[in-house]
Chain A
Amino acid sequence: MNTLGIYIHVPFCGRKCSYCDFYSLNYNKNNADLYLRSVLRNIQYYSDRSRIVDTVYFGGGTPSLLPAESIAQMIDEIKKCFRLSENVEITLEANPNTLTPDKLRQLRDNGVNRLSIGVQSMIDSELKFLGRTHTADRAKKAVLDAAEAGFRNISCDLMIALPYQTAESVEFSINELAALPVDHISAYMLTIEDGTAFDKQNIRDIMPDEDLTAELYLSMINCLKEKGFEQYEISNFAKNGFESRHNCRYWKCLDYIGIGPAAHSCYNGKRFAVMPNLKEFIDATHQKIYITDESPCGFKESAMLRLRLAEGLNIGECGEKSEDILKKIPTLQKAGYVTYEDGKLALTAKGFLMSNSIIEYLIF
């Protein structure tokens, strides 16, 4: 079945977090209105009634800053222009501060059925360091209110490799989240990106080193497992059945259309991206794109993405490259980086930590 995912990039934030290098601007109502109109125009532009949309993802930025009706209008437009799958997954990224019980109810009523809440940590000092505007208590309330409003698929972001973080402080945050109605956790490592507020020597100086980061990651995986969160991708953990279907499209080379400034697409045999420029996006009849890859999803790319997944890579599908890969497996196994069972090569937790090197060694 020729399904499709739609990603909508909402480039507005109340405040830019110190680590963030995504495209986002300060929210203002006028721009948000113009932006909404442009998104609607673009949904129409890509309109294709032959395609079944089975995931929609509002990412950002902070999509939850937009009024619930704006979200509703976009979902409605998608319904008009494409066929919507019966069990479509519609995710909205949200900042805890923006989630009031009323807004949550409206979002739920308008069809949003999955929330990805930017919790990041359940320790206030860590939140403050990251430049987050909410407290741990506020995040907890947002999750509880969301459940109250009828959300049954709630994901929280968690960040590790923060300065002064310990295995214990990570465990604390995980325990706090596990006690809430949360079914999915995305756990990222803090990295210092050029041009962000953290791009300073005094921050780099206090970042945990390679070995400590590795320890934090491994102990985090154990903690999450104890609480019933199974790792299904390098950074993603879910209780049974709650894997993010939208994100899985990325890793399985399935089509998705990205709408909004700086959004990325993999659609009709090309990868392309939209210029990170809100004004340009607002002014154009349809968004201006640039091709990033003329022929994506070749062997290297799909294998690279497959190896990010816990289920791993089917060696039978590696064609002429399989012989070379098979030769390298024993060395990797000996080092504890991979498992190889029933023709499937998968990275271990230790292997995930070295995934760039391993993928490069095996595939590139």
Chain B
Amino acid sequence: MANSKIRNFCIVAHIDHGKSTLADRILEKTETVAIRDMEDQLLDNMDIERERGITIKARAVRLKYTAKDGEDYIFNLIDTPGHVDFNYEVSRSLAACEGAILVVDASQGIEAQTLANTYLAIEHDLEVVPVVNKIDLPSADPERVCAEVENVIGIPAMDAPRISAKMGTNIEEVLERIVIDIPAPEGDTEKPLQALIFDSYYDSYKGVIIYVRVKEGTVKVGDNIRLMATGAVFTVVEAGFMDASSLVNNGSLEAGEVGYIAASIKSIGDTRVGDTVTNNDRPCDEPLPGYRKVNPMVFSGIYPADGAKYGDLRDALEKLRLNDASLSFEPETSIALGFGFRCGFLGLLHMEIIQERLEREYNLDLITTAPSVIYKVTMTNGEVQYIDNPTNYPDPALIQTAEEPMVKASILSPSEFVGNIMELCQDRRGIFKDMKYLDDTRVELHYELPLNEIIYDFFDVLKSRTKGYASFDYEMMGYVPSKLVKLDILLNGEIVDALSFIIHTDKAYGRARKIAEKLKENIPRQLFEVPIQAAIGGKIIARETVKAMRKDVLAKCYGGDITRKKKLLEKQKEGKKRMRQLGTVEVPQEAFMSVLKLDS
């Protein structure tokens, strides 16, 4: 099919603004899916995504549409992750498209992530097609929202389709806009192959499946391809596209097309999002621009609650990594928690998703340590160290300067919550940059925030202080010097390595007190009293005590039933195996977890 009949596009929307529902309607209208096969929200195929209403991994699907001009068109709908953790993946998905449908909720207007992704789309020269969704809601105000889009983003929006994806209203109008407004792809099928990888996943039969946008040239079954960043060479086994439910092996893909390649690739580490696929025998001169290796930003120790499950945890992490090249992990040992893994994540959401998948899909009971960012430490001898595990934080006497990563944060919110937001950002050591009104009722605030202040619970607190209305987005901006200290927690005088963390001096006292209180709540009274201390270096800055238990005795009448008594003690002993034994102190799992949620 001629390129003029192809449209490659994605949908940009805030969580809950209806991206997946609109995608489903488009699939339905193009009869890509038989109605009876429709499951709600087809494009999100992971349970967690569906439950959280967010899309984690991009997918691409090919649709056929007969437009009002009587011609048949091919639509390639590329789904994009909506969350800031996956910003880079979003940018690669956008680079595979010529246009983006911007879905805005008719009652809520633009949110921070939408804005960030729309700017990203404009940066990539995409044609942005605004669509106002949820016009069926009583609170819908499409005129106001269209005006907001024009004001804030600066694209014409007054004639944007007003739709209800849920009810199926005005979906054809969207389809026609795709045909009319979004440009057809360009590219020369005769040129050397240049294809952009925008997603990949591991299939246990076919190996790694890579999703590509062919920019120049042609790729067909039997070709030797080279992945330029890693230099790995493979022979193409399948090339084709995905319809709503399965991969269709077409034999080839040409410039302008979006589809998949299977080439018996064993390791997802070879296929990096953003990399360029070329023909090994007739390579292109240069890779496509924009590739970068994605580095983890947030680190946390993950341990099996039951030490015997270490092997299971390793297997599970390896399986997850098959599908998720951005997950990194390596073995680590904690005195308190035993054998586990130091895991690196793109961000907090990514971390939560991995933890949840480990627990849910692999039935593992986990203990995770407080998330940490990477600190940059310059030693007095000039050596530079990057520290992602508080345990490895050097002796302060040997540190010349310590630096922490900062982010540029943008927060969109109804103006009534500005006070609350400023208070929160101030509390998190934020530096106010500017604030602008998007319209009469909505503002956009810009702050510089230390990454370590937002990795715990910033988003949750922001939501609760703005009745759920504020949205939040951030990008990394590099390291700045900071007054950092390592805070240790001691139980019965012994440092519990898994509870140590790095923190700004000004926050240390408050945090120390809260942690001590939380631990006191979560460590049960036991045979001996448990002193809880928080210390910086050798200096104790907070203290609590779990008083010794007073009564644990069988002082009742019994007719010589000794076996029962013995079994009771054996059971008691067994029950304590679920606790971590640190010296004479028994610490339940919940105690480790409780310090991660200090404000809730």
- Which residues on A are within 8 Å of B, measured CB to CB? 7, 9, 22, 59, 157, 186-189, 191, 210-211, 213-214, 217, 234-235, 250, 256, 258, 262-266, 271, 273, 292-293, 296, 300-301, 304-305, 331, 335, 337, 352-361, 364
Taking CB atoms and an 8 Å cut-off, the chain B residues in 446-470 that contact chain A are: none
In the complex formed, the residue of B with least CB distance to A193 is B556
Could you tell me the distance in whole angstroms from the C-beta of A248 to the nearest C-beta in chain B?
11
State the Cβ distance, A209 to closest chain B Cβ, in Å: 9
Contact for B527 among A262, A265, A266, A361, CB less than 8 A: A361
Cα A33 to Cα B548 with chains together (Å): 53
A9 adjacent to B573 (CB under 8 Å): no
Whether the pair B551, A217 counts as a contact (CB closer than 8 A) is: yes
Chain B residues, CB < 8 A from A7: 559-560
Nearest-CB residue, chain B, relative to A260 = B559
> What does the 1/0 interface line of B555-572 toward A look like (CB < 8 Å)?
111011111111011101
Residues in B neighbouring A217, C-beta threshold 8 A: 551, 555
A213 adjacent to B569 (CB under 8 Å): no
Whether B549 contacts A210 by the Cβ 8 Å rule is yes
Q: How far is the CA of A181 from the CA of B122 in the complex (A)?
A: 99
Q: How far is the CB of A236 from chain B (nearest CB, A)?
A: 10
Q: How far apart are A218's CB and chain B's nearest CB, in angstroms?
A: 9
B1 at the interface (CB under 8 A from A): no
> Cβ of A191: which chain B residues have Cβ within 8 Å of it?
556
Q: Say yes or no: A213-B550 contact (C-beta < 8 A), given A296-B563, A304-B565, A357-B527.
A: yes
Given A250-B562, A360-B569: A355 touches B550 (CB 8 Å cut-off) = no
Interface residues of B, Cβ cutoff 8 Å to A: 525-529, 548-557, 559-566, 568-570, 572-573, 576, 584
Residues of chain A within 8 A (CB-CB) of B563 are 264, 271, 273, 292-293, 296
Contact, CB under 8 Å: A214 / B550: yes
| Interface of A, helix, strand, loop or mixed by DSSP | mixed
Cβ 8 A contact of A335, one of B528, B555, B560, B570: B528
Among B527, B555, B562, B570, point to the contact of A189 (Cβ < 8 A): B555
B553 touches A305 (CB 8 A): no
Q: Which residues of B contact A304 (CB under 8 A)?
A: 565-566, 569
The answer to whether B566 touches A301, judged by C-beta atoms less than 8 angstroms apart, is yes
Q: Known contacts A304-B566, A304-B569: does B560 contact A356 (CB below 8 Å)?
A: no
Asked if B553 and A263 make an inter-chain contact with CB atoms under 8 angstroms apart, the answer reads no
Chain A residues positioned under 8 Å from B569 (CB to CB)? 304, 356, 359-360, 364
The interface residues of chain B, by DSSP majority, are classed as loop
Bound: A359/B556 CA distance, A: 17
Contact present for B559 and A354 (CB under 8 Å)? no
CA distance A270 to B562 in the complex (A): 12
Please determine whether B553 and A335 come into contact, CB atoms closer than 8 angstroms: no
Question: In the complex, which of the residues A264, A292, A331, A354 contacts B553, with contact meaning CB atoms closer than 8 Å?
Answer: A354
Q: Total A-B pairs in contact (CB under 8 Å)?
A: 114
Q: CB-CB < 8 A to B560: which residues of A?
A: 7, 250, 256, 258, 263-266
B552 partner, pick from A271, A300, A354, beta carbons under 8 A: A354
Question: Complex formed: what's the CA distance from A211 to B525 in Å?
Answer: 12
Question: In whole Å, how far is B422's beta carbon from the nearest beta carbon of chain A?
Answer: 46
Chain B residue at minimal CB-CB distance from A263: B559
From known contacts A266-B562, A301-B562, A335-B528, infer whether A354 and B549 are also in contact, taking CB-CB under 8 Å.
yes
A29 to chain B, nearest CB (A): 24
Measured between beta carbons, the chain B residues less than 8 angstroms from A355 are: 552-554
Residues of chain A contacted by B570 (CB below 8 angstroms): 364
Beyond A355-B553, A357-B572: 11 further Cβ-contacts under 8 Å?
A: A188-B555, A234-B554, A235-B557, A293-B566, A296-B562, A301-B562, A304-B566, A354-B527, A354-B550, A354-B552, A356-B569
Distance A356 CA – B529 CA, assembled complex (angstroms)? 16
CB of A358 within 8 A of CB of B527, answer yes
Q: Which residues of A contact B527 (CB under 8 A)?
A: 335, 337, 354, 357-358, 361
Q: How far is the CB of B135 from chain A (nearest CB, A)?
A: 52
Residue pair A189, B553 in contact (C-beta under 8 Å): yes
Report yes or no: B572 in contact with A356, Cβ–Cβ below 8 A: yes
Query: Which interface residue of B559, B563, B564, B573 has the most chain A CB atoms within 10 A?
Result: B559
Shortest Cβ distance from A364 into B: residue: B573
Smallest CB separation, A100 vs chain B (Å): 25
Q: Chain A nearest CB: distance from B97 CB in Å?
A: 62
Shortest C-beta distance, A290 to chain B (Å), equals: 11
Contacts of A188 in B (CB 8 A): 555-557
What is the CB-to-nearest-CB distance from A55 to chain B, in angstroms, rounded to a whole number?
11
CA distance A352 to B553 in the complex (A): 7
CB distance from B546 to the nearest CB of A (A): 13
- CB neighbours (8 Å) of A335 from chain B are 527-529, 548
| Chain A residue at minimum C-beta to C-beta distance from B548 | A335
Contacts of A263 in B (CB 8 A): 559-560
20 contacts across the A-B interface (CB closer than 8 A): A22-B557, A59-B559, A186-B557, A188-B557, A234-B554, A235-B556, A250-B560, A258-B559, A264-B560, A264-B563, A265-B560, A293-B566, A301-B566, A331-B584, A353-B551, A354-B527, A354-B548, A354-B551, A355-B553, A357-B572
